[in-house]
């Protein structure tokens, strides 16, 4: 009989430390595979998931983007094989739902029509069934995931670097390339210089923005933004960010603004700091029930496009190889983004460091 016992960080209750447990991964059913986890970046979204702000239902295993190796396939699996190194990103592509059929797999029904109730993937020693949050459950030694959510990766790069492809890199790259469709020579303002904003900054540079300004309250993060090519950095606690972006762009506002801070205030600023007819791309979530207030004239009269982006609106099989190429050629730099490594037993430390902005991406790494 296959041994599927594993160590996992289980969210038993929101707002209290993770429960580090030995649990039993369920056998893969139709169309599902077992992946031995190599690395899962701790994402700032999981600070909100841990606190209960985004309505995840315990007991569950968080961690919505990972990399690892397929070690077992269930019945009917056609697109994954034992031994493959695979990315397990935040979004599946089933290929057959309405959204996949119309070419928008980043809204795939396999994830977004579940109503927030994710498949059970493990059983605790107490008999409780445990779900995999976001259909991944990456803060555990093993994952039980749909074949539609694993994508083979071909690269000599290590898994620590490639693990960032499932959320930060693809979301940042896609915000610039797929959502904003940035044209060479355009000006860009990025709101927030956490891991996501720093990937947006790097993508904007690669896409040949003429000028990139980064708005970020944390001085350490502004410094990293500068080292990664920001032309100007702005502290929104010390100056009016919208007015500053406008004065840096001929009084108009930036051609493109990209929000990666998750605060509703930054989203409002991102819409107001774009020029008339420009594109504001919004990606963050502060709370599941938060609302953004935007004045009517700039919204309706000034031809601004407000674009929402989910996981970079990427098509995995098209965009991930391109992101890997950018990493391999040194045009994307993961070194300053990976700030710590943790064992799964240290998940609360990773969470604290993410919450306090001590980490950009703290990687939860596993022996393999």
**Which residues contact Zn ion by CB under 5 A?**
43, 45, 94, 97, 100, 108, 167
- CB of 134: closest distance to Zn ion in angstroms? 9
What are the two backbone dihedrals, phi and then psi, of residue 268, each rounded to the nearest 5 degrees?
-65, -45
Query: What gap in Å lies between CA 95 and CA 116, rounded to an integer?
Result: 20
- CB of 90: closest distance to Zn ion in angstroms? 6
- CB of 99: closest distance to Zn ion in angstroms? 5
Contact residues for 180 (Cβ-Cβ < 8 A; gap 6+): 256, 258, 279, 281, 307
Contact between 155 and 324 (Cβ < 8 Å): yes
- Closer to Zn ion by CB, 54 or 280: give it: 54
Token pair 């994402």 is at which residue?
43
- Closer to Zn ion by CB, 147 or 249: give it: 147
- Closer to Zn ion by CB, 236 or 312: give it: 312
> Under DSSP, is residue 266 helix (H, G, I), strand (E, B) or coil?
helix
- CB of 113: closest distance to Zn ion in angstroms? 9
- Closer to Zn ion by CB, 97 or 162: give it: 97
- Closer to Zn ion by CB, 108 or 121: give it: 108
Contact residues for 262 (Cβ-Cβ < 8 A; gap 6+): 44, 45, 48, 192, 284, 285, 286
H-type helices in 86-182, by residue range? Answer: 98-101, 109-112, 159-162, 168-174
- CB of 106: closest distance to Zn ion in angstroms? 10
């Amino acid at each position: 009989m296959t041994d599927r016992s594993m160590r996992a960080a289980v969210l038993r209750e929101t707002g209290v430390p993770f429960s580090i447990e030995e649990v039993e991964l369920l056998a893969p059913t139709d169309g599902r595979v077992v992946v031995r986890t190599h690395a899962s970046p701790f994402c700032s979204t999981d600070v909100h998931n841990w606190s209960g702000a985004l309505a995840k239902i315990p007991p569950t295993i968080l961690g919505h983007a990972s990399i690892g190796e397929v070690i077992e396939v269930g019945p009917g699996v056609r697109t994954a094989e034992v031994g493959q190194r695979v990315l397990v990103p935040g979004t599946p592509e089933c290929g057959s739902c309405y959204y996949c059929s119309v070419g928008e797999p980043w809204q795939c029904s396999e994830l977004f029509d579940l109503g927030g109730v994710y498949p059970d993937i493990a059983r605790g020693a107490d008999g409780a069934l445990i779900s995999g949050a976001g259909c991944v459950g990456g803060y555990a030694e093993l994952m039980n995931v749909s074949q539609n959510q694993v994508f083979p990766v071909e690269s000599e790069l290590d898994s620590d670097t490639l693990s960032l492809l499932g959320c930060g890199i693809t979301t940042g790259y896609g915000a610039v390339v797929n959502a904003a469709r940035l044209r060479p020579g355009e000006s860009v303002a990025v709101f927030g210089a956490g891991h996501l904003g720093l990937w947006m900054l790097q993508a904007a540079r690669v896409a040949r923005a003429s000028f990139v300004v980064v708005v970020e309250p944390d001085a350490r993060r502004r410094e990293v933004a500068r080292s990664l090519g920001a032309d100007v950095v702005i502290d929104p606690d010390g100056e009016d960010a919208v007015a500053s972006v406008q004065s840096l762009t001929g009084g108009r506002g930036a051609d493109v603004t990209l929000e990666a801070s998750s605060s509703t205030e930054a989203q409002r600023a991102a819409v107001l700091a774009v020029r008339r007819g420009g594109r504001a791309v919004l990606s963050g979530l502060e709370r599941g029930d938060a609302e953004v207030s935007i004045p009517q004239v700039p919204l309706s009269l000034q031809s601004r496009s407000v674009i929402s982006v989910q996981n970079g609106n990427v098509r995995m099989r098209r965009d991930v190889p391109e992101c890997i190429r950018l990493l391999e050629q040194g045009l994307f730099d993961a070194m300053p983004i990976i700030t710590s490594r943790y064992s799964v037993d240290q998940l609360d430390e990773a969470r604290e460091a993410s919450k306090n902005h001590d980490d950009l991406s703290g990687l939860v790494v596993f022996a393999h």
